[in-house]
Each structure stands twice: as C-alpha cells, then as structure tokens.
A and B are shown apart, each in its own frame.
Chain A
Amino acid sequence: MEPLPKRRKGMDEGVDSWEVHPILSDEQSHDIKLVEAFAAPIINKKETSRLLKDLATTYPLPGLQHIKRVRARKSDKHPHPLEVVICLVDGAPEVKDSKEVSLTTLLPSESFNSSGLGEPFTVKIPAHPSLTRPQFEQASVHWPTTFHEDKQVTAALRGQLFTAAQKAKMHKYMMTAIRAAKAGQEQGMVPVGAVMVDPASDQILATAHDCARGTHPLLHAVMVCIDLVAHGQGGGAYDFDPFPACQFTVPDRQPVEGSSDSVAPGSTQEQRGEPYLCTGYDLYVTREPCIMCAMSLLHSRIGRVFYGTTTRDGALGTRYKIHTQKELNHHFEVYRGVTQHLCEDLAEEPH
C-alpha cells in the first residue's frame, strides 16, 4: 500500500493553497540602515522655528531630506515634548567621544544662538528614505521620516494586489505550464513548463516545456517559450515538431484603429500596434528561471513573470535579481508562489 501523501496532490489543490509574493529589489527588501546623529530637546518651544531655520543653515544634512528634523515625544517619560536633530556624529566638529559632547562644541556660541536647546544626546536615524511600508514602519521606531508610498508595492506585500478572480486565472495558466512540464517529462525531458499570456486579451500565446536534454542544452522552457512567441509573430528559429506539447498561437490583438495607414513605413511594430517580442506579456513558469532565461526575458521586454518555486541559481530573486538590476535598460515585475506546492511536486533534478 502506498504511504499517505503529506498533502493533497494533483489538480484539486485550489487557489487558496498558495500566495503570491512580490520579488522586490534588494533596496526595497533589506532592513533599513541607521546613522548616528546628535539631537537635543527643545526646552523653550517658542524658539522652535528660529532654531530650525538656523540649524538648516549651519547643518543642512545633505542626503537626509527624508528625515523630519523635529520629533514629538508624547510619553510622560520625556519632560520636553520636542526633540531636534542637530547634525550627524560624522559631521560634527572635534568630537572625540560622542558620549561627552556639549552644546557649545556642536554649536559654538559665537556663531549660533542655542538658547532654547537642552543638552545633546546621540540617536540613530534612518540613513535612506523608506521604499516600502515595512521599511517605513521600521524607520519610524527610530526617528520620524517622510514616506512616498507606492500603493501597489504595499498591496503586493500584503498579498492584496490580486483579486480572487485574477488568482483563479493565474492558477489556470500555471496549470497549463504544469501540464506542459509533465508532457515534456514523458518524452524524457526535465519537467519544467512555461506559458506566455497576453494579459490584454487573456490569450495564451505559447505553451512550452524544457527541451534541453538530449537535444540542445540551451533549450530551457523559457527559451522555447520565447521562440514559440516569435513563431506566432512570423519569426522563430527552432523547429518544435518533435515536441507536440510545445505550441503557439498567432495573437489576435487588433492593431489600433487607423494606425497602420497613418504611420509612415519604417515605423516600429509597436507604433503600428503590432505585437513586438514579448512586450507587455506575462510569463508563467513552474520554477524560477536561470540567468540565461531571465536575461532572455529582459531582452524580450517581458511585462511580468510569475513562477511557482525557487531554484538554486535562480536569477529572479535567489542568486540574482535581473529584473531590478539598476544598470539594465528594462525592468519588470516578478512574483513567486503561484501553485507553489504543485510546482514543487514536479520532480527536482539537477539541470
């Protein structure tokens, strides 16, 4: 008798069994960095606006525009309700021991009227602006900062970016990729599947599986999928007749009305409203692409990538984050976790 499976297997595993996780850049996902600064209580509130003006001239704090100079202390523990950042410890003059600093070393009385300020103390303040709400919340524990919130990133981090209906579609597309992976496996290939979708028309343009083993070592599922999309646009470089599960569809997205006549010859395909490479398309792939495949997607101007499970040398989150690499000329969104368990169930083999 077969041992009982640890969890439900197969097609009945539903939309509720997985979550989508956005793969953000390192800058967005790492913990905030802190720098040491000197601050002081404002013991005479009436001096606040003058002190702020004078401090802005004496210590302008370049690169720290996100820092709110004054913070309010609401609790009863603090006798003075307002505190102000004077300067960075690194930017302070002649301070040997930051614990024994005095107001006159930081603000010499001949050049600065420090009346209204109490004795300085050290404090850690956020070194960079927050890019995500978790970073903002972390920063706020130390010192108040401004925050230009990206609502989409916040929603994505909370798992609220996609509706139930959208998740159902993602589930459907990934199931198609999983079926392709299994069809490839039956022909002796590594079980990896990929599906290219035009989200504007909800049309599946290409379905692919890995064809690398025994044929061409570079024909990973993503490479096959990109070439099948090219076939659908009248191009393509490879013949996939031996692999019937690798299929393409000619996109039926109509050119923008009148544009094909009014635009001069020699204009780009995009200007003529024709599909160009994978611009704006969504890729569903059962596991995280390697560097070659991730960069192929970038060259192809992919819109978004959804993958099921991570890989050891993966280039969309694990080892590299090609989609957020600053120097590169195209960036795209990446989400992990779509039908994660089913994708993990596809046999893991060295690739």
Chain B
Amino acid sequence: MRGRGLKIRMPSIGNDLVKQDFSPPNMDDIQRWMAAAFDLATEALENGEVPVGCLMVYRNEVLGKGGNEVNDTKNATRHAEMVAFDHVVEWCCSRDLNLNQVCAQTTLYVTVEPCIMCSSALRLLNIPLIVYGCRNERFGGCGSVLSIASDDELLTGSSFKCISGYQAEEAVEMLKRFYKQENPNAPKCKVRKV
C-alpha cells in the first residue's frame, strides 16, 4: 500500500507563495503524485538506470515527468529531474506561456532528494516547493551534502521549500537494490529504444 511509512515534515508555506497564487498540495495530492513518481522510479530500475522518478505538477496538471536516463544518453546530467524540466520547458514553449510564471506555481515530486546539480537547477527555474522521499547521502543538495535549496547567500535563482520523508524506506530500498546488483559506473547496452 502506498500510504505506508508516512513520515512527512511539512514546512510552513510563507506568504510569498500565497501572493503568487500558489496553493500548496494537501496530503491527498502528495499521495497521488508520489505514487506516480515511484512508478517512474521502478521503470528506471527496470531499464538499468538509477531508480529515481519524478513529476512536475502545475495546477493539478502533470507538465513533466521523468526517470534517470544517464546510461541511455551517455550524459551524466540526465537525472529524472532534468528530464522532467525539459518537458516543462517544452510545454510552456508550445503554448507560448511564460516559463517563470508557470514554474513559480509548480511542485516537484521526486522519490529521492535532488542532487546538488538538480537543486541548483530548481533554483534557476524558481520552483517554490518540492516533495521528496529519502535523503540522497551521496549527492544531496537539500541538506545531505550541501544546502543549495535554502542557501540565502546565493544570488542565483531563488531558494525553495522541501517536504521530505514520503515513503523514504521504499525509496532507499530501491536504491540499495540497484547499487547491490550493479556497478553504477557500468553503462548497460541500450534497453529502452529497441
């Protein structure tokens, strides 16, 4: 059952978010979108990629989703979040919408704490809020290694809030299974585009 192991820390959502007409997600939203993110992580695992899945949700609509595609693209920056960001950019572009305005009302749901790279990208996109599962002890940018999410001295982009701990144990278990069965540095042959 998806709702198991619910340990969530809710941040106080500041007035700045309310001003931008941003309604933070309720528990039902979180359960629904995180379930979808875990499905994407499972898919990535089946494709021999690091099991991380994510969704970008804007006004109850999924604008982007992604799983890790590093091996498939031979590009180490193709994390689930970066794949999903591309979808949001395309979505805005095709509708001639202002990316900044859309991002300011978009929430990222991701199974694992974003790495330092993805956290920095979230700042650059001005995403106000993310919901994530387990900590990323190796590369985490929302507190585990560096605190890019909340660094007030950074002038680049804007800081964002985190709701953490959703199904953290399940997310950790998937990562453990992945790192146990294979060398993360060993790219597999293309699986997806056959």
Contacts and interface: CB of A to CB of B under 8 A. Distances in A.
Contacts of A84: none
B156 A290 contact: yes
A33 interface: no
B69 A328 contact: no
A340 to B, nearest CB: 22
A237 interface: yes
Contact of B156 (A216, A270, A277, A291): A291
B116 A230 contact: no
Interface string B125-151: 100000000000011010001101000
B29 interface: no
A198 B117 CA distance: 24
A350 B108 CA distance: 26
A295 interface: yes
Interface in A235-286: 235-237, 266-270, 276-278
B85 A237 contact: no
B75 A237 contact: yes
Interface residues of B, number: 36
Contact of A322 (B73, B116, B119, B183): B116
Nearest to B138: A329
Interface stretch (A16-24, A59-67, A106-114, A296-304): A296-304
Contacts of A322: 116
A325 interface: yes
Interface of B: 69, 72-78, 82, 85-86, 89, 99, 115-117, 119-121, 124-125, 138-139, 141, 145-146, 148, 153-156, 183, 185-188
Interface of A: 216-218, 223, 226-227, 230, 233-237, 266-270, 276-278, 290-292, 295-296, 299-301, 312-313, 319-320, 322, 325, 327-329
9 contacts: A226-B76, A227-B73, A230-B73, A277-B76, A291-B120, A291-B141, A299-B139, A300-B75, A319-B154
